[in-house]
Amino acid sequence: MERLKIVILTGLSGSGKSTALAALEDAGFFCVDNLPVALLPKFLELQNQTVSEVTRFAFVMDLREKGFVSRFENVFKDLEEQGYAFEIIFLESDEDTLIRRYSETRRQHPLSKDKGLLEGIRLEKQVLEPVRNIAHRVVDSSNLNVHQLKAMIQEMGAHKNERKSIQISVLSFGFKYGIPRGADLVMDVRFLPNPYFVPELKNLTGLQAPVQEFVLEKPVTQEFLKKFMDLLDFLAPQYQKEGKAYLTVAVGCTGGKHRSVSVAGKVFEHLKGLFQNVSLSHRDIER
């Protein structure tokens, strides 16, 4: 049987299990939230009977399933005897942090229906103690923000010697059609000389050599590109370090056909030499 990587996320309500699951999904895991532990053997059996390239799975299991605590030990023991290996990650936070998070979200703690919030938190901690005792890793998220927690979980879920990678999208656009939704970094290059006003270049695009030469060979463009590339060289690794899975760099000019296309192409070539997953698209080039 092909060796699967299986991560079980469990722990206290409000400690960040949903954030951790999202982090593993971004890292390429097939993720299932609130899977009953009794169904895990059947799930893995079906997986082995199916031709699939998926070899990394993450499951959230917790007290939302009433039989979780009473069943988990026997289920995991039986599966280990069959040759499966698990990474059990138990997430927790201190009482003050959990109370604050529940106050901010206005969610109801699963064990506080007939009790107060604090009593529900303490009861859950007591009930889950046997699960915590067999966990391979215990993560205290009390002092971690969302990005730090995601980065930590992705590091735990990574293959050995696997390099964490951020997916970067470089996009050209025209301001006259609006700024792209979801853009993380927006650079306005309307200060560069405009080929639109050169008759022989007006009907061409930034994908063609005459326009590229007009835009990119100007001294002001050369100086700008050096400064902009330096900025990207600094920022992109910082975003990756914070656990950001996607980064969109949008370059805009007036119509999105000349200057932005030429500059976006150079940005793409530069980033492609530094990162594994870089794509280039031109939103408004056909308008």
> What tokens does 160 get?
């050995």
* 157 marked ligand binding residue: no
Residues in the chain: 287
* 271 marked ligand binding residue: no
Task: Identify the H or E element spanning 90.
Answer: strand 86-92
Closest CA to 187 of 287, 69, 104, 266: 266
Q: Are 112 and 120 in contact (CB under 8 A)?
A: yes
* 283 marked ligand binding residue: no
| Count of CB atoms situated within 10 Å of the CB of 212 | 20
The separation between CA 22 and the C-alpha centre of its own chain, rounded to angstroms, equals 7
Closest CA to 165 of 229, 234, 243, 231: 243
- As a whole number of angstroms, the distance between CA 265 and CA 206 comes to 9
Closest CA to 92 of 151, 146, 20, 16: 16
| Count of CB atoms situated within 10 Å of the CB of 137 | 13
Closest CA to 266 of 190, 170, 158, 155: 170
* 71 marked ligand binding residue: no
* 52 marked ligand binding residue: no
* 65 marked ligand binding residue: yes
* 83 marked ligand binding residue: no
* 18 marked ligand binding residue: yes
* 184 marked ligand binding residue: no
HSE (CB half, 13 Å, CA atoms) of 38?
7
CB-neighbour burial class of residue 85 (10 A; exposed 0-12, middle 13-18, buried 19+): exposed
* 116 marked ligand binding residue: no
Numbered residues of the known binding site for ATP: 11-18
Numbered residues of the known binding site: 11-18, 62-65
Numbered residues of the known binding site for GTP: 62-65
